[in-house]
Structure 1
């Protein structure tokens, strides 16, 4: 009998799942419900459209309902919001925002992928300011239009994580004065402090007004912003980028288990505690590849992999999800910052003994034009050499962290980084790449030298 599979949410999770399921099963009836008007787009590209690096909004559209129907025989209902999951009846209740009516749809399998919602910081008189978030395609279009029509000249970025840093560069590229307010002592708190400091230097070098260890306390009557450190700044609008949280309300209402990290609990095949309901993407709690502990990471690669795992399981050919490393990268003007696995404070908090190998070198041969500084740090177990995490800042950071991510996934030890045969020519690297050199440096930190 043909399976009827309903998918709640599009974009990286839901749209990818639907495509993967169709690839594996050409008979299943697949319907995707997306409450917004765009069902599949490159949300990671939104800052770069706002900065003018991506010239046309259409370039961010990965697929349309029409192309899904024509090319994949998948029905997509945009502006249709699932408002209730009725587990006992195996139905969902849907609000059709086009016709302004509700109806019920039956399912054999349900895939829950509504993503996440922006967190709103505690700012007094927030309603006085022009406040925006950047989570949906609609958010991007609205902000783009308002910057132009309202002639915004300055912005306060509230939050110094990935979105805040990317928007700092892109707003500067658009000719807008940028203030960045970060609650903690450093931007991008996942980085080691000395690496965060390199990004802060880059921000200041590019005329970003940086406020660390501060929050926006209130918006004054004259629309100036009062910071917790006593500073008052002026900005035409605020972009709130303090983080996101799983959009889990439907799952909670349906009685599905929510984990310690705030995401919907799933097993290694993306099943919730209802075997006919799967969950993927930013809404779920998964587990750490290295420690096996619960982990919630909103990254595109993670959502894509989870979508494939769910599709394989539904079609009876299961492959387990192996966990999350949290590999990520951020461009801040001329500096790149990349991470994988755990940083020092994370390991200390868990009580995991570790050693650290560090290296600062040129990203390629020093005599070749354009050589610049690359800093690399790796944390590892001094008994076994198991790699716990790594970070890199500088040009070429992406290549080194990708290699180390692969090494972790393949269970290579830190000493085995010495043995990797990495492509070399003067424009790209050195005869012994920084990754190789970290392996040699680690020898002195091992309890048993090899």
Structure 2
């Protein structure tokens, strides 16, 4: 059997390696139009920033490695121009010699990856404007920085690559401005979590401009759609990627709803004998079961392995994605998995949302505060999605949540987890467990939460509402929720006789814990409708900032 693979980065090489493990006799050839293969693309910003000294560490495997270890022939600088699925032939061009030839296959794997999106900006082709998608892009940016010593950079887009580049360029002493079309940074997050990232960027000296786009790039400036002009002698376009599907589409292979190649759970395309894997394919979401496009190196390796197994007679199945992602912004870690609040609402779920602000380990062991936002199905408590922002311990918790959501856990299951505990690593009640406690109380324990936006709606409804600030007088005097009255936790029992039982009560503190304690007192003393403000005053303050910004625009 002759197996051809198009693409030699994560999915293509994983597919070829697995196919070889299953079939020692098959002839396996990979065509790759680039010069580098099987590289660690996620490490590229850190080479540019100097944290990784040798770029070759990101490209540890070359064609010779695959030839010697797997008996796989990888032909770099060979571009596949056409796929004839009837004849089972590829038309290939040798980019070095210019020779064009055909090659035939019995089985074919499409691992054509994705390409950077370049917006229609005048001047986007200038020599100081770059995208970062492959190793050659990385070296071009590094050479430009070394040779030209740019002083000011503009990054257009605030996704993973944009944020990681901001940190690394800033580390080189370059002044950085980030421009984002949406009203928030990090588009995959909910706004109330994204603002934590934005605040951290600004704290680190990165200027952030949201709600506008770049319309023109000159030699020294970037002109924005709102008429602002930014100085820039280096521009990074980090505005996302699109799947490379031209070959498949021209060959009549079906694409999915997202514009990527449609595959079934075995990685089979609409054409018998042709499989696809990696960043060129459409996935499906574990929670909703619906098509999504989430290009990640981890998923590419996984789907490549499945394709390589099944093309040689196996029957592995893909189980979907949660859209899990994690990245570092200076000394802050940002992670998410599953559905965001806005995605869950769009899908029609009746949801409970909590903001859990807790240290990753005890303060006496240097614990630092993380914010965990969870989204759960109010009907049965099923955990739908989680976002976490914090300096330390985020990776550990997000992976626990990934496992829970994957296997359909409910919020009431979280408190029963036998998680590892010792003071250097966690609090006795881990933040994961606290999230479960908060959500279980809210959904099943008559301890409902009130989100900041819902509070505004309630106040505008004309209903009888009293907002109780449970903090000490000094904290209340410094800043408080609009229309709140100060009844500290220590005096609430003697003051609660003045609270009419037909009034809706909202309690809050700094982060949520004391607000919940007072909520419990009021409910246990017979008040009927008492809510605790999710995330407390900290989360409310950020919500008000976002609202004011939105009103200005």
Task: For 1:230 and 1:238, locate their aligned partners in 2 and report how far apart those are by CA, in whole Å.
Answer: 18
Q: Which runs of 5+ in 1 are unaligned?
A: none
Equivalent residue, structure 1, for 2:254: 257
Task: For 2:308 and 2:217, locate their aligned partners in 1 and report how far apart those are by CA, in whole Å.
Answer: 47
Give the structure-1-normalised TM-score: 0.96
Equivalent residue, structure 1, for 2:47: 49
Task: For 1:20 and 1:128, locate their aligned partners in 2 and report how far apart those are by CA, in whole Å.
Answer: 42
- State the shift of 1:357 in Å: 2.5
Q: Which has the larger radius of gyration?
A: 2
Equivalent residue, structure 1, for 2:308: 311
Q: What is the aligned counterpart of 1:144 among 142, 145, 153? A: 142
Task: For 1:448 and 1:172, locate their aligned partners in 2 and report how far apart those are by CA, in whole Å.
Answer: 48
Write out aligned runs for 1:277-426 (5 A).
Answer: 277-369=274-366, 371-394=367-390, 395-426=392-423
8 Å contact kept, 2:381–2:440: no
- Residues 119-151 of structure 1 deviation map (CA, whole Å, 9 limit, x = unaligned): 112323434562100001111111111111122
- State the shift of 1:345 in Å: 0.8
Equivalent residue, structure 1, for 2:463: none
Q: Which runs of 5+ in 2 are unaligned?
A: 448-553
Residues 109 and 179 from structure 1, CA distance in 2 versus in 1: closer, same or farther, beyond 3 angstroms? same
Equivalent residue, structure 1, for 2:428: 431
* Residues 230-239 or 76-85, more deviating: 230-239
Task: For 2:345 and 2:417, locate their aligned partners in 1 and report how far apart those are by CA, in whole Å.
Answer: 29
**Secondary structure of 1:71's aligned partner:** helix
Task: For 2:417 and 2:23, locate their aligned partners in 1 and report how far apart those are by CA, in whole Å.
Answer: 39
Matched, 1:85 2:83: yes
- State the shift of 1:212 in Å: 1.1
* Residues 311-320 or 191-200, more deviating: 311-320
8 Å contact kept, 2:335–2:395: yes
Which structure is higher in RCO with an 8 Å CA cutoff and minimum separation 6?
1
- State the shift of 1:312 in Å: 2.2
Task: For 1:345 and 1:66, locate their aligned partners in 2 and report how far apart those are by CA, in whole Å.
Answer: 48
Give the structure-2-normalised TM-score: 0.79
Task: For 1:83 and 1:122, locate their aligned partners in 2 and report how far apart those are by CA, in whole Å.
Answer: 25
8 Å contact kept, 2:350–2:379: no
- Residues 74-93 of structure 1 deviation map (CA, whole Å, 9 limit, x = unaligned): 11100011111111111111
Equivalent residue, structure 2, for 1:63: 61
Write out aligned runs for 1:53-202 (5 A).
Answer: 53-128=51-126, 130-202=128-200
**Secondary structure of 2:200's aligned partner:** helix
Equivalent residue, structure 2, for 1:22: 20
Task: For 2:156 and 2:359, locate their aligned partners in 1 and report how far apart those are by CA, in whole Å.
Answer: 34
- State the shift of 1:247 in Å: 0.7
Deviant stretches of 4+, over 6 Å: none
- State the shift of 1:449 in Å: 8.0
Task: For 2:39 and 2:298, locate their aligned partners in 1 and report how far apart those are by CA, in whole Å.
Answer: 14
Task: For 1:106 and 1:327, locate their aligned partners in 2 and report how far apart those are by CA, in whole Å.
Answer: 38
* Residues 439-448 or 169-178, more deviating: 439-448
8 Å contact kept, 2:14–2:308: no
**Secondary structure of 1:439's aligned partner:** helix
- State the shift of 1:261 in Å: 0.5
